[in-house]
Structure 1
Amino acid sequence: MKRIIDLVISTFALMLLFPFMLVISILVKWKLGSPIIFKQQRPGLNGRPFYLYKFRSMSDQKDGEGKLLPDYQRLTPLGTFLRKYSLDELPQLMNVLKGDISLVGPRPLLMEYIPLYSEEQASRHQVKPGITGWAQVNGRNAITWEEKFELDVWYVNHQSLFLDIKILCLTVIKVIRSDDIHIDEQDFKGTIRKESHG
């Protein structure tokens, strides 16, 4: 049933949002150039890797040595706007159609984080990742990594159709209000390093 809902909603959403996504594509091409779609390998169900799609939000600016500048320096005003309203994530509807992810599930993080998870945290990979999830509607980037993982594990242990519908409805409200969004979110490895050095 969940897969059917994923297919129906993502297909309808892509048809409805296609003109809007076309405008975003033109703006990204104009302001940032190619590629328009940014793709990055992420862990899916049982940790199997797949490529997650997003609209590009950063430039390719480099320092004097030819190395990419830090993310916060490459994030453009257009990219900030897209991230604020989660518009950069619209291409992930294609990931849903492909079966890589679901509409609802723990957010797919970076492959390099997998060895850092505790056994309990790693259980978030027992279900397909999602565009939105229980952690996203209960704090998103305004809560700690530990709290996010606790919420992800809670979802894995309590998932149901009713809960997914509730999360989808709350997500719409969160996006409209732009609640709990911090563009300069610290990565998980950074948090681990900070804790390990006291």
Structure 2
Amino acid sequence: MSRAARVTDVVQRAIDIVVAAAVLVVLSPLLLVVAAVVAAGLGRPVLFRQPRPGRYGRPFTLVKFRTMRDVDERRGLVTDGQRLTGLGRVLRATSLDELPTMWNVLRGEMSLVGPRPLLMHYLDLYTPEQARRHLVRPGVTGLAQVRGRNALSWADRLALDVWYVDHRSLALNMRILARTGLILVRREGIAAPGEPTMPEFTGTPQPGGTEPDSA
């Protein structure tokens, strides 16, 4: 790791602590309102908790507001598209479901800016180059989120994550944060075509057209 990258990481961590603490305090009334709305619309628990890979692939528990109903085969609630509610779509479109992740930022499990934390079982599907996305803390927002968000292909999204790792700086982080605000207002790239968010990642095709075993 270069000296510039180390300085960026140290200063960014200080910024993360200050901003995350401020958001949790200042927006605590909004957090309570959203929690009450989720409880009324989806029931309890109001928070969604799931293990996600953090820096170096070490797992942590991601915390967000719930946007989906529980799986219920009798009611036909199986896929993400079937389980995602109208309330959930609004929370995702406005990123209000992400507010509790400030707790993950405060704890040092995430940063304001970095590659988004994906699913644990994806770890075995990345190429060695793609796996380098885990050399930094995952972010609430990131370069891929401001370059297309969920409308990007997996290959493009992961390539942007790795590019960010190699070129991260405080100036780049500030640009990503500013661009994130604009995207939230415009509600761009919320979902891939025909998907509630993104299709499942099944690995990157290998030379010869084969894909890694995802079993």
Task: Specify the TM-score bucket, using the shorter chain as the normaliser.
Answer: over 0.9
Q: After superposition, where does 1:1-198 map in structure 2 within 5 Å?
A: 1-64=11-74, 69-182=78-191, 183-189=196-202, 196=210
Tell which deviates more after alignment, 89-98 or 14-23: 14-23
Q: Tell me, in whole angstroms, the C-alpha distance in 2 between the residues paired with 1:24 and 1:75.
A: 16
Alpha-carbon distance, 1:22 to partner: 0.7
Query: What runs of 5+ residues in structure 1 fail to find an aligned partner?
Result: none
2:124 and 2:204 map into 1 onto residues whose CA distance is: 14
Could you tell me how far apart the structure 2 residues matched to 1:184 and 1:8 are? Answer: 30
Identity %: 50
Counterpart AA for 1:128: R
CA distance in 2, matches of 1:37, 1:120: 33
Aligned mates of 2:41, 2:190 — CA distance in 1: 23
Say if 2:115 and 2:138, in contact at 8 Å, map to a contact too: yes
In 1, are the aligned partners of 2:115 and 2:142 still within 8 Å (CA)?
A: yes
1:68 Cα offset (Å): 5.4
Answer whether contact 2:155 2:204 (CA < 8 A) is retained. no
Q: CA deviation at 1:190?
A: 8.1
Cα deviations across residues 128-150 of structure 1 (Å, max 9, x unaligned)? 10000000000101110000011
1:106 deviates by 0.3
Q: 1: distance between equivalents of 2:180 and 2:190?
A: 13
Q: Is the 8 A contact 2:126 2:204 kept in 1?
A: no
Shift of 1:82: 0.4
Superposed CA deviations along residues 152-192 of structure 1, whole A, max 9, x for unmatched, are 01000000111111111111111111011113421112887
Task: Report the TM-score, using the length of structure 2 for normalisation.
Answer: 0.86
Task: Find the residue that maps to 1:180 and give its secondary structure.
Answer: coil
**CA distance 1:191–1:122, change in 2 (3 Å):** closer
The range that moved more, 54-63 or 112-121, is 54-63
* Partners of 1:184 and 1:109 in 2: CA distance: 12
Could you list the structure 1 runs, at least 4 aligned residues long, displaced by more than 2 angstroms after superposition.
189-192
Compute the RMSD of aligned alpha carbons: 1.8
Q: Which letter maps to 1:38?
A: F
TM-superposed CA distance for 1:26, in Å, is 0.2
Structure 2 unmatched runs, 5+: 1-10
Q: Which moved more, 1:178-187 or 1:114-123?
A: 178-187
Distance in 2 separating the partners of 1:190 and 1:153: 16
Number of aligned pairs? 194
What amino acid is the match of 2:201?
A: F
**SS at 1:188 equivalent:** coil
Query: How far did 1:67 drift?
Result: 8.7
Say which SS state the counterpart of residue 147 (structure 2) adopts: coil
Question: Scaled by the length of structure 1, what TM-score is found?
Answer: 0.93
Cα gap change, 1:191/1:154 in structure 2, threshold over 3 Å: closer, same or farther? closer
User: What SS does the aligned partner of 2:62 have?
Assistant: strand
